Structure 1
Amino acid sequence: MLKTESTLATVWLMVLRLVELHGIDPQQLLQEIGVRPETLRDVCARLPGRLADVAFTRAAAQIPDPAFALRAGECWHPSNLGTMGYAWLSSRTLHTGMKRMERFARILGSRFSYLCVDEPAGVRFVYDHGRNEAPVGHLMTDFTLSILLDMCRTNFGSKLNAAALRLRRPEPANPQPWQDLFGCQVQFGATEDSVLFDREAVDSPLPSANIPLANTFDRILTEQLAQFFDDDLVSRTRAYVLRQLTSGPPSAQVTASALGMSQRTLQRRLGELGLSYQSLFDETRHELARRYLDDPSKSVTEITFLLGFSEQSAFTRAFRRWSGMSPTHYRYTPSV
């Protein structure tokens, strides 16, 4: 169990490329903060979250440009984000990709969080750096949102712009770099850090989509979340349910035993999170059903048994209860 805040080590390769763009020796920076270069080549390694604060603070002291972190979009590679990077590239839509980022954010870093908010105009991606009002948080926001923008442009096309940008940082003397990069008006001094993408862009099918691969990556990410954060009961429960579904729906008692606790303890701990075993089980099954239905190579009959249903009619009834439509209707009018 990870008891301290941490960041996936390979994420740091983006930080090093960024500071190198601005004339800072990346190896010198690593030495100053006590990180060995070989650690960054270990795809499973994690570094203490506090080191990111130190690195960004040191970089800001040496780089005169307050907008320097906006160039982070030039520095990312899918491998820097681990399995998440490749899951992103295979996402069906930008909306699907951003929801994936939201769900598995802790794998990249356990101190910050992502939230996707559906609005009439589109989807707002909200980033919380977890630093309250510390100035270093503004740099991390620039770093994160500029990478997200470039990730979206990689999948959708280079001409994609944001519809709106909100930043908690005070308005800088020159706001032009933010306006130029995101291609929209920027609200500084906002109550949140977020970027809005319009509905047509986020829900358009992507030419880079590969749904079977995306489903495989999601299973890997679910296992990683449960492995890295064994204090995360929701992730551990989801991971066990996903492993067992094809053999039939695991009961709360069986799942609790597999997780090393009594059924009463499992229900109590989930209840403290505002959940029940049945609600979490249904949510997990529904999410998996939608992923399978997005894959045209799988028939509804096959999906029925992959989800642990004994009859297609039972699957249809359950899916209609979850989503208000039949599996066939969903498949031909897909939503995220």
Structure 2
Amino acid sequence: MPKSESTLATVWLIVLRLVELHGIDPSQFRRTLGVPSETLRDVRARLPSRLSDVAFELAAAQIADPAFALRAAECWHPSNLGTMGYAWLSSRTLHTGLKRMERFSRILGNRFSYRCSEEPAGVRFTYDHGRGEASVGPLMTDFTFSIVIAMCRVNCGHTMRPASVHLRRRAPADPQPWLAFFACPVVFGAAEDSIVLAREVAEAPLPSANIPLANTFDTILTEQMAGLFEDDIVSRCKAYVLHHLTSGVATAPEVARALCLSQRSLQRKLAALGLTFQGVVDETRHELARRYLDDPARSVTEITFLLGFSEQSAFTRAF
């Protein structure tokens, strides 16, 4: 289990394809970084986040194009993102897909973070690379945003355009590569790195949506979070609650025993995060209820029992 900052090893396959596009031998690049080839084939393997900094510094020193990381859009495959990649493809809307990425981002890497927020004009997806003012930060933003936009375009069509893109990087001498790729207004020198999607784009039903599959992937991702990060007490609680909902709602003593904690320790850890056990249970049920209600094949009666309610009226009041 990660005790320090790490990234999913299969994401590195995108990095290697990216440098290869720019004329760098990917095998030599990998060996220079000290990454064994078998590690990149292990879907459970993780690599230290510090290697990402070294990789982007090394690539920038060998590639003359300052916008080189935007070509990561040509290099990604859903399998590189593990379960997250396939969960994304099955998302009902771009908004639900982005929220899914926010919720499970630590599986991809636990040094950076995503935030998805609603605004009057639409939905804003904000990325914090976690590198402060380091020179590799803007390159990582280009890398990440190019993949996010490519993912959006795979789901809803290659003509998809954000409403705007905001980048912390200073305005480059030639902004054309960024303007051409994003195909929308790009604000340089912004306070944060973010993409804004118009509401009609973010909420449009996607032809690739598969709600039952998305629900299954969410359960897998929740379990992965709980298994990977011992310090993530919330994910560990949610994973246990999800497994036992159809048999009734798990109690705090049951969950504490399952996590090898005393009930008092569990309550104290949650309180330190400003949470309560009941609040975690309610949030878990609410998230699952929204996903189930998106599925026209499920009746309210079925959803009632899947969520551990004894009768429909109780579910209706709670929701």
Report the Cα distance in structure 1 between the residues aligned to 2:62 and 2:50, rounded to whole angstroms: 19
Deviations 1:140-190 (A, max 9, x none): 000000000010000011100111111111111011111111111111111
Report the Cα distance in structure 1 between the residues aligned to 2:37 and 2:277, rounded to whole angstroms: 43
**1:325 counterpart residue number:** none
Unaligned runs of 5+ residues in structure 1 are: 320-336
**1:37 counterpart residue number:** 37
**2:128 counterpart residue number:** 128
**1:322 counterpart residue number:** none
Please tell me the residue identity of whatever aligns with 2:120: P
Q: TM-score, normalised by structure 2?
A: 0.99
Q: Matched residue of 1:64: which SS?
A: coil
Q: Matched residue of 2:7: which SS?
A: strand
Q: TM-score, normalised by structure 1?
A: 0.94
Report the Cα distance in structure 1 between the residues aligned to 2:234 and 2:272, rounded to whole angstroms: 11
**1:262 counterpart residue number:** 262
**Equivalent residues in 2 for 1:102-141, closer than 5 Å:** 102-141=102-141
Give 1:29 shift.
0.6
**2:308 counterpart residue number:** 308
**2:176 counterpart residue number:** 176
**Equivalent residues in 2 for 1:266-277, closer than 5 Å:** 266-277=266-277
Please tell me the residue identity of whatever aligns with 2:244: Q
Please tell me the residue identity of whatever aligns with 1:298: R
* TM-align CA RMSD: 0.7
Give 1:298 shift.
1.3
**1:295 counterpart residue number:** 295
**1:234 counterpart residue number:** 234
Give 1:39 shift.
0.9
**Equivalent residues in 2 for 1:77-88, closer than 5 Å:** 77-88=77-88
Report the Cα distance in structure 2 between the residues aligned to 1:278 and 1:211, rounded to whole angstroms: 27
Q: Matched residue of 2:114: which SS?
A: strand
- More displaced stretch, 140-149 vs 262-271: 262-271
Count of residue pairs the alignment pairs up: 319
Give 1:297 shift.
1.4
Deviations 1:13-66 (A, max 9, x none): 000110000001110011001001111011111111111111110000000000
**1:99 counterpart residue number:** 99
**1:19 counterpart residue number:** 19
Report the Cα distance in structure 2 between the residues aligned to 1:296 and 1:287, rounded to whole angstroms: 17
Q: Spell out structure 1 runs of 4+ moving beyond 6 A.
A: none
Report the Cα distance in structure 2 between the residues aligned to 1:111 and 1:157, rounded to whole angstroms: 31
Deviations 1:201-225 (A, max 9, x none): 0000000000000000000000000
**Equivalent residues in 2 for 1:135-214, closer than 5 Å:** 135-214=135-214
Q: Matched residue of 2:195: which SS?
A: strand
**1:75 counterpart residue number:** 75
Give 1:249 shift.
0.5
Report the Cα distance in structure 1 between the residues aligned to 2:133 and 2:107, rounded to whole angstroms: 24
Q: Matched residue of 1:100: which SS?
A: helix
Give 1:2 shift.
1.2
Give 1:265 shift.
1.2
Report the Cα distance in structure 1 between the residues aligned to 2:120 and 2:74, rounded to whole angstroms: 31
**2:282 counterpart residue number:** 282
Unaligned runs of 5+ residues in structure 2 are: none
Deviations 1:210-251 (A, max 9, x none): 000000000000000001111110110110110111110011
Report the Cα distance in structure 1 between the residues aligned to 2:109 and 2:171, rounded to whole angstroms: 27
Give 1:81 shift.
0.3
Report the Cα distance in structure 2 between the residues aligned to 1:125 and 1:263, rounded to whole angstroms: 37
Give 1:191 shift.
1.1
Report the Cα distance in structure 1 between the residues aligned to 2:308 and 2:229, rounded to whole angstroms: 27
